[in-house]
Structure formats: structure tokens, C-alpha cells
Structure 1
Amino acid sequence: MAAIHKLSARQIETLPSGKHGDGGGLWLNVRDGGSRQWVLRVTVHGRRREMGLGGYPALSLKKAREVATHWRTMAKAGVDPVKAREKERRDALRNLHQFADVARDAFEARKAELKDEGNAGRWMSPLERHIIPKIGKVPVSEIDQIDIRDALKPIWHEKADTARKAMNRIGIVLKHAAALGLDVDLQACEKAKALLGKTRHVAKHVPAMPWQEVPAFYEDLSDGTVTHLALRLLILTGVRSQPLRLLTLDQLDGDTWTIPAENMKGAKGKTSDFRVPLSTEAQRVIEQALPHSRNNLLFSGSRGRSPISDMTLSQYMARASLEARPHGFRTSLRTWIAECTDAPHEIAEMTLAHATGNSVSRAYQRSDLLEQRRALLERWASHVTGLSGQLVKLHG
């Protein structure tokens, strides 16, 4: 092997323009302007390769020899050092992706799965409020359980539901990063949970109005406004507020309202619409609401271009000094069914669009029990309007 370490640190300072070999393929290229650049020449698979290592004095003689030794060893193993370095640079650049950037890319990839394509901002909200301000600029490949723990610790017990959602989103972002080819710790969230411990937060249910008090409240909704009529139909049908607010005239067909699958809770993966039987009272409410309809929406906002806001219904009840909220009328209905009827469990749950049984039994249950539910909701309407308080016998 040719002699190596031919140059000295003192000699380098006075070398004239030209190429000066240190041995083993390491050269110092001195340009006319005085700048000095280290270059390594190696042979791989019979092909000569030349690569710049860096400038002197930023890269000292000692360091240049160490770098040269590393790449010569790679070349002897049959690895092209030029391609290997390019790959290292690409990997380094990839791993510089910041958490915030990957989070937004993950959100864009999942928009089609979210309600209204995530335009409400609920998917990103836990990250933007509690995570991105703290670790948004950290390369995603460097994020570990300590970072996640420190970011979530202030809200882990005080805002447990938000913290749970944020942890879920972080896990999705890390999986998205891994799919991009980034080197991330996919177990970081589980490790962070172990460090944070169990939450002390007790989940609170949406306040519901006792079913005995619903008739009096229903009677007060008598001024014929969009808000009053929307609340009346919400009570009578037991649906969630979103499908009610998005109710369009083409969804109505006589005594049946067909809710599109995409408007139902957990719309992802749902392919079938949900039929809601309309009681005689519900049909009367719809007739009263028709003059207010705008742009095919039965319950439109004040300007007529968008649906009535969910907050409109909630704020109405809050201004009335009621603890109960619109969503709670589903509980009112379900409790009335349990206490005042002998409706089978399956009919009761299907009335509220709840899934029943396991996946196998649901696959064989093709009926939506529409007529049985129609009878049940007709009885509920009688109770709500004060016409009947007697025990309902319903066999399914």
C-alpha cells in the first residue's frame, strides 16, 4: 500500500496552488485564491470515484484523515461512498421534518375520512392548542415519551378528554411519519401514558332533561320560530343535532325521513342511510317549518345560506337557565322507553341509531324495524304533547 500521512499541519499552510497527496487517495486541492479543499479518490467495482470531504481549516488534517479512513473502509466493503453519503444526506433531511409539518400532512391525508372533511377544525384542535406550541418545531424523529409527557402533563388530569384526543392524534402523526420513511418511535405514546399514569378525571355525561319534564318544555316551544321548531323535531325524533341541522327537503318523504349515511355519527365506513319514522306530530312540526326553509334546508341560519348553528339550540336552553342540553333529549327518550314501555332492547337501541349485537348478528339483521319504531315514536309524541302518560305495551 502506498505511503500515507505525507502532509503535516505546518506544511499545509504554505503549500502552493495545485493538488497535494497525503496518501491513501486523500488529496488537498489548493486553489489560486488560497482556498483549500480535501478530496478523496477511491476505486469501487473497478470504477474510480472522487468525493469532496470539506474545506481546510474547517476540516483539519486529523479530521480529514479520519473521514477518509471511514470512506475507504466502505469502499473496500464494496459500498460506493458517494452514493452512501447521498443516502445519508437524504435520510438526514427526511428526519428534519418538524412535528407540526408532519401533523398537518397527516391531517390532509385523513380529511376525506372526517366529517365535513375536517373543516370544523376538531381534528387538529388538540394538537394546535396543546402540542404544536411545545414540540411543533422538534424533528419528528427526535420526539420521545418525555417530550409527549411534558406536553400533556398540564392537561392530563384537568382536561382528560382533550388530553386523550391529543394523545390519539400524536400516535396517528407518528404512524404517518413512519409511513413517510422517517425514523420514529412508534411506542412513544404508550411509554408516555405509563409515565403520566391513569387520569383522575371522571367523564361527565351531557345533562339530560327528565322525561317527566319534557312535555312542559315542549309546550313552551310554541312561538313558531326556527329554533323552537328545530328543538321540537329534535325531541320527537331522538336524532342527534347534526343530522337535524343538515336536514334537507329531499330527505323527507311523507311519514319517513331518510338521513344520508355521511350525516350520521361515525360516518366513516357507513354505507347505508338511516330511516327515521315521523310521528303525526313530527309531520305537523315539519309543515310549520316549511315556510322558513331556505336553499333546500329545513332549518337554515339567519342568512339562509347555511344550516342553523348547533350553538343556537344549546344557547337557547342555557338562556332559559336549563342545565339540560339538546343532545340530552336522546337520554330522555331512552329513559322513557326503559321505564314506560316494554319495547325490546333491539328496538329501543335502533330508535336512537345505536348498533346492537355483534358483527355477525348485524350482518344477518337486514331489517331496520321501521314500523316497530314508528309505533314507539308515535307513543313518545303522545307523551311529549301531554296526550298520554300511561304505560305503553309494545311487543316486537
Structure 2
Amino acid sequence: MAKYKLSAVQVKQAPKGKYGDGNGLWLIKQSKDTGSWMLRISVHGTLRHMGLGSIHDVPLSAARAAAEKWRAIAKDGTDPIQERERQRQKHGLRRHLLADVALDAFEAQKGRLKDGGKAGRWFSPLELHVLPKLGQTPISDIDQIAIRDTLKPLWKAKPATAQKAIQRLGIVLKHGAALGYDVDLQAVAKAIALLGTIKLKTKHIPSMDWREVPVFYASLCDGKVSQLALRLMILTGLRSGSLRYLMPDFIDGDILKVPGIFMKSGVDFDVPLAPAALKVIEDAKRHARGDFLFPGRRGNVISDMTLSQYMKRAGHSARPHGFRSSLRVYLAEHGCPRDVAEMCLSHNVMSKVEASYQRSSLLEIRRRWLIQWSAFVTTGVDDLNNMNPNSEITKSV
């Protein structure tokens, strides 16, 4: 048994000075009432001085226990000072809260999100359904049980929302692991196993039969911003989010060059413009404000809700996004090749290998089909002989 030199009374009463307890443990008194512990220990032949705390926080017995612990670690060839720092860092990492990591992950995602994620669609599933319960939990403590209990009420009631929430949570956990936190990367997969699989019901956005589009297009005749936006959406097949942010600078002759930041794919997209589409753009320039062709009443751009509400008030169940379906069905029923039809809607139809070889945007082929669509929309004529993409009638529309 080790023979110690100090007593608790000496620690308390000793005046300023240095006092050895044995085996490298020293009491350093700055005054009668203040002092600290220090362990002198050899690591790979180098003398190290390791502080063990003040006498007010660490009593004599605890100082001796700590000294014994760190001497054993040094005996195994590990620097006790470096090991203590590693343990402190690990403890700190374990305490990092999920809410903090989620916000950091969101910042990392913003570069690929439309408008930098300002719409909130990426973060809202976490903000509404995960962080209220788990936000103040250290990320290292997030396990499948915690995830299951948090999302269970949502899992069958709102499966699509639950899927988004758990997918975003998986991204946050991976982000935390990349930051060096102690994270269970399998927690999401295990939580899904506990929650059980759910069958998502595909809910299609209501669309208008392509045969009815010309009548609706003709009704958009007041020259208002919302009506012009709907006309151009019909003629180009663009998504609402892409179309509403269009600027005059995007027009290059008879081509609309949409920057990738405004495309769902994140890739720049060229849209060939039929003469009717060019006329709509010229009419829209009269309303342009703040660089946007389709400004809203309260600044920025016209909202998607404004366009939807217009159609609802007009008595239509279809929604603006549904015109993409109207165009796609029209192209299919008029013999347009699948790849061309999909590219008209800016859908990616090729694998990475195919895309590395087939680099054409099929712009001129798409132009002919969009001109045919434009001719039908603006005239209501659907004579397949006269409406052939290569016909002179079509080219003049």
C-alpha cells in the first residue's frame, strides 16, 4: 500500500509553498487558503506536469485517485494530458444539440436549394415535427427509439410529411457525423423498421384535359400579370417556380434561357419560344418591376397561390402545375418521341452514361413540337395534317 505524506489538515492549514504527497503528486499552495494539485509524471522519458484542480474542488482523496488513474494510463504508453483532452472533447461533442446541427446542415444544403431555401420547404419538416421534441437532445443521444416516438403520431396520419421529416433527419445525422460527433448513422433505418413501411398514395395535381386548354387560354385576355403568367406557363411547359422568377434578361432572341437556380433540377435550361410566347413576353414587359416579368403587388414576384386562386375563382379544379400534364399528354397522343416530350418538360430521362454521350438539348426538335402545341392552344385547331411540326402552317404560328 502506498505511503502518503500529506493529511487533509495539512492541505487546509499549510502556508504558501510546495508539498509532495508521494508518487509525483504535489500540492502547490499560493497562500494558506488557496492551492492546487499537480502531478509530475514521465511519458516516454519526458517529464510532464498535469494539473488536477484546485483544493476547493478536489479533496485530497480525489487528487490521489486521479493521480493513480493518470499514472496507470501513462504506464500504458499514453500521454495522460492528451488523453484527458481527448475525453473532454468527446464529452463536448456528445453534448452538441440536434437543433444546432440541424441548422448547420441546413446552411450546407442552401447552395442546392431554390432561392437558398427561403421558402422553408426543406427545413420545415424538421422545424415542425422533429425539433420541438428532439431539438434540445444531444445528437449523440438520438437513437431509433427517440425517432420512432417522435414521428409515430405522424407516420400513418401524414405519411408524405413523415417521410420528408425522417429523410431530412437522416441528412442531419450524416452532417453531424461529418463534423466529428458521435452519431448512430443507422438510427433512421432502424426507426423505419420499428415504425413499419407505409404505402404513399400518389396524389396527382389536378390538370386540364389538353382539348380544353385553348378555351381557357382564350379567356386569359385582360392582359393582367396573372393571366400573362398563366399564358406563358401553358405555352412553355415551365413550372410555376421557374416561370414566376423570369427576368427580361433571360430572353435571347427566340430562346428563353432559365438559370439553374430557378430550375428544379438545378441545371440551366433553354426553352424555345413560339411566336405566341414571344408576344406574351412583350406584353408582360409593360408590367415588369424590380427586374421581374411577373411582379407581385407587394413586391418581389407574383405568388403561386395567386395563380392557383385565379383558376379556382374561374371555376376550374385544375391547377397551374397541371398544364405540364396537359402538354405531356398532348405530345404523347400526337406521336412525339418520349425523350423529346420529357425534355420539353425539363425531365432528366438519361442515365449518367447516356448523358455523357448524348449531350444535345434537342432544342430545334423541341421547338417544332412546342410550336405545334402553341398553334393548337392559340387556335383550337387540331388537324394532324395541318399541325405537323414541319408544316408551313405550324411554322407561321
Instruction: Report TM bin, short chain.
Output: 0.7 to 0.9
Measure the CA separation in 1 of the matches of 2:199 and 2:192.
Answer: 13
Cα distance in 2, alignment partners of residues 374 and 350 from structure 1:
11
1:326 is paired with a residue whose SS is coil
> CA contact under 8 A between 1:209 and 1:329: conserved in structure 2?
yes
Equivalent in the alignment of 1:224 = 223
CA contact 1:342–1:394 (8 Å) conserved in 2 = no
1:32 CA displacement: 4.8
**Aligned-pair CA distance for 1:390:** 3.5
- 2:270 equivalent among 244, 269, 275: 275
**Which range is displaced more, 120-129 or 365-374?**
365-374
1:389 to 357, 361, 382: 382
- The more displaced of 240-249 and 86-95 is 86-95
Q: How far is the alpha carbon of 1:327 from its aligned partner?
A: 0.6
The residue number in structure 2 matching 1:343 is: 336
User: Partners of 2:112 and 2:256 in 1: how far apart?
Assistant: 25
1:232 offset after TM fit, Å?
1.0
How far apart are 1:374 and its partner, in Å?
Answer: 2.3
Which residue of the other structure, out of 318, 324, 336, is the alignment partner of 2:318?
324
Check whether the contact 1:342–1:395 (CA below 8 A) recurs between aligned residues.
no
Of residues 286, 289, 293, the one that matches 1:294 is: 289
For 1:163 and 1:50, locate their aligned partners in 2 and report how far apart those are by CA, in whole Å: 54
Deviates more, 1:284-293 or 1:386-395: 386-395
Bigger drift between 63-72 and 241-250 goes to 63-72
Question: In structure 2, how many angstroms separate the alpha carbons of the residues matched to 1:223 and 1:53?
Answer: 82
Q: 1:292 to 1:69 in 2, by over 3 A?
A: same
Query: Structure 1 224/77 Cα, relative in aligned 2: closer, same or farther at 3 Å?
Result: same
Shift of 1:288: 2.5
Please state how far the C-alpha of 1:328 moved relative to its aligned partner. Answer: 0.8
Instruction: Work out the CA distance in 1 between the residues paired with 2:84 and 2:97.
Output: 23
Match of 1:42? Answer: 41
The residue matched to 2:325 in structure 1 has which SS? helix
Normalised by the length of structure 2, the TM-score is 0.87
Count of matched residue positions in the alignment of Structure 1 and Structure 2? 388
> Which residue identity lines up with residue 237 of structure 2 in the other structure?
G
SS in structure 1 opposite 2:270? strand
Where does the alignment leave 5 or more consecutive residues of structure 2 unmatched?
391-397
Query: In the TM superposition, what is the alpha-carbon distance from 1:238 to its structure 2 partner?
Result: 1.0
Q: Which amino acid aligns with 1:375?
A: R
Gaps of at least 5 residues in structure 1 are: none
Over 3 Å counting, the alpha-carbon distance change for 1:32 and 1:245 in structure 2 is same
The answer to whether the 8 A contact 2:369-2:389 is kept is no
How far apart are residue 223 of structure 1 and its match? 1.4
CA distance in 2 between counterparts of 1:256 and 1:293 reads: 19
Q: Secondary structure of 1:346's match?
A: helix
How far did residue 279 of structure 1 move?
2.2
| Matched letter for residue 240 of structure 1 | R
Conservation of the 8 A alpha-carbon contact between 1:159 and 1:201:
no
Counterpart of 1:176? 175
